[in-house]
Structure 1
């Protein structure tokens, strides 16, 4: 892990030394002073809901004022990559005020080091100051003593352009348990799908299969850090490889994505992982990054606020290279990529499309920012 840290510092130094480039968008800081913000959701009246990895959930006003931490947030196992992570508002939020939170859940026994990824539903109080009716609807099994690879991206399912009452949750292999990504009796290294009440959808691919957990939708994932629906309502995800081999995938029910049997990357010490880069019965990524960009956050731009050329593009944050990646899509393939926000030189943790059709990003730092991307004339 020391080598990884050194590599990241080298990348940061190189990024700092790069000359300024012409940017096709203008970043406008909406709010600052956020502690390692991880995800943003859009509240009515131009307000925002932002998670901070150490464990706070805050409302950001339209004028950028950052509120006090909300009460009632679940206790998180903060440390390393763990803490309070994703947040998504229910499709019917303006009526029911429900939301979904993903976080690293501590062990049940006091003092135990094991933890796991959990998904909870909650209701935002009428005054916006606290969470009510908090209920865990999914908890990854087994719990592992690790501070890495929690995954934790949430997507509500859609069918025929309508919410179908399900939710997807991208999970990680917890780093030390990577072989479990191929085992169907654990949730490690999986994409799971549950109903909004935590029950298992009857059409999940492994329902009724002996020795398999019924929540599993796809498997062979390393560490899903971005997930989103495209303009057609289809699910996509990005995940971290090891040293090289970050992936853009389109998960389908019952598909094995191969980790750690196949990968386009190598281990941090340069050694080979698994059996190679391809194997029968295991899906290839739609796109892979070598060297790794450490992708985080994913959104499909459906608006035309930046012109027709960008409409339908996918946007992915890069933690490692400190920029935003635009993937030009041609059908289900990537026709090209473009680096944005290089002058910002900040780790991009999340990217979302707002109700105004504009893109918003969060920067991962002790003094993190929420930034709106304005189109240039």
Structure 2
């Protein structure tokens, strides 16, 4: 018995030394980047958009659209926003530019409209004229709920210039993510005038919302179209089970019928992680990192990161860099964890640097640049 005990001790010590040396190696590797603060005093910033004149637009969840010019946050706010329902995580969300913005000055803004008892994701189109929104038009109104949670509300353009909008399940209405007569728990596709594309996957089916592009989502917090025209989306799981997915028209992503997470109470949401006819995530996180914004790096400043996905993490208080081999995640790196800040959005700027928003009443716009 003593002999066995000594063997176990030796094995344990060897494993400890291997792990310790690996950790030391990781910690002593020189960082390829540095982080600097561009502006401070943002109130729960949510999204970034880059204008052709080098200005940046930043949404604040409380209902303000701000401008960063020459590295400074302008005191004047952009006027002309609609009435916004602001409570907890509900408020002003995403801002994206029209593909032809340089000519038409048009942009699209998502927010929570309505009231505590009846609220929904809404999207407007507008033209930006100096510091004012003009020609404002509501082009999308989602399904109603009575909670301020899980709006989704991220947007991106497909190559055909149709607009994708993510819609969360409303937290208390998760079963509607599987229902095709509800827009909760979906990715939705519309034209920029608010009409429905004729080639949407469920067009013409009875009792089905024609806007639906994909379904079975919980709370999609980022969506983008890659250089290779893949549509990447990530979404919050419950307690564990955050997912990175590839969006394919007409596909069911399973929530809440399948999940790698459990309820916050510890109760089982579903005993299944797979099911016929339901898509599997490309990767998932247990425990949750609460993914927020996302960018695919295609700049020139960091050539070693070309094609990598960068994911902001709220609960994870970090940025995750994902290296890909086709549609497979082959490596993950955790960045900015030493700052201990909730990260809401991350974008690649037209200058090739990476910009980050921290989720705080004293939020910051950060810039990631090479270490040397």
Say whether the fold is shared (TM-score over 0.5). yes
1:236-275 paired onto structure 2 within 5 Å: 236-275=232-271
Q: Runs of 4 or more off by more than 2 Å in structure 1? A: 19-24
- 1:191 to 2:187 alignment: yes
Q: 2:177 aligns with which of 164, 171, 181?
A: 181
* Aligned twin of 2:6: none
1:74 paired with 2:70, answer no
Structure 2 distance, partners of 1:293, 1:63, is 30
SS state at 1:148 partner: coil
Q: Counterparts in 2 of 1:127-166, with a 5 A limit?
A: 127=130, 129-141=131-143, 143-158=144-159, 164-166=160-162
Q: How many Å separate the matches in 2 of 1:20 and 1:181? A: 45
Deviation at 1:20, TM superposition (A): 11
SS at match of 1:88: strand
Q: 1:318 — aligned with what? A: 313
Conservation of the 8 A alpha-carbon contact between 1:23 and 1:340: no
Partner in structure 1 of residue 209 of structure 2: 213
SS of corresponding position for 2:355: strand
> Alpha-carbon deviations, 1:114-173, whole Å to 9, x = none?
100111111101x2x1101111111102x1110100001000111xxxxx1310001100
Identify the match of residue 94 of structure 2 among 54, 62, 86. Answer: 86
Q: Return the alpha-carbon distance in structure 1 between the equivalents of residues 88 and 217 of structure 2.
A: 20
Output one character per residue of 1:306-345: Cα deviation in whole Å (capped at 9) or x when no partner: 133x111000001012110000101001001000111222
**Separation of aligned partners in 1, 2:112 and 2:31:** 36
Aligned length: 346
Secondary structure of 1:40 counterpart: strand
Gaps spanning 5+ residues in structure 1: where?
Answer: 1-18, 159-163
1:206-238: CA deviation from partner (whole Å, max 9, x where unpaired): 001111000000000000001111111221101
Number of the residue aligned with 1:40: 48
Q: Which has the higher contact order (CA 8 A, sep 6+)?
A: 1
Given that 2:48 and 2:59 are in contact with CA atoms closer than 8 Å, whether structure 1 keeps it comes out as yes
Where 1:100 maps in the other structure, the secondary structure is strand
Q: Is the 8 A contact 1:60 1:67 kept in 2?
A: no
Give the CA RMSD over aligned residues: 1.4
Q: Where do 5+ consecutive residues of structure 2 fail to align? A: 1-26
Q: Does 1:104 align with 2:112?
A: yes
Q: Which residue of 1 aligns with 2:11?
A: none
Distance 1:259 1:220 in 2: 5
Cα-to-partner distance string for 1:75-116 (whole Å, 9 max, x where unaligned): 111011100000001111111111000100114xxxx62100
Q: Which has the larger radius of gyration?
A: 2
In 1, the alpha carbon distance for the partners of 2:257 and 2:197 equals 29
Q: Does 1:122 align with 2:118?
A: no
Give the TM-score taking structure 2 as reference length.
Answer: 0.91
Q: Tell me the distance in 2 between the aligned counterparts of 1:20 and 1:319.
A: 26
Q: Does 1:368 align with 2:363?
A: yes
- 8 Å contact kept, 2:299–2:350: no
Structure-1 separation of matches of 2:61 and 2:350:
24
1:21/1:342 contact within 8 Å kept: no
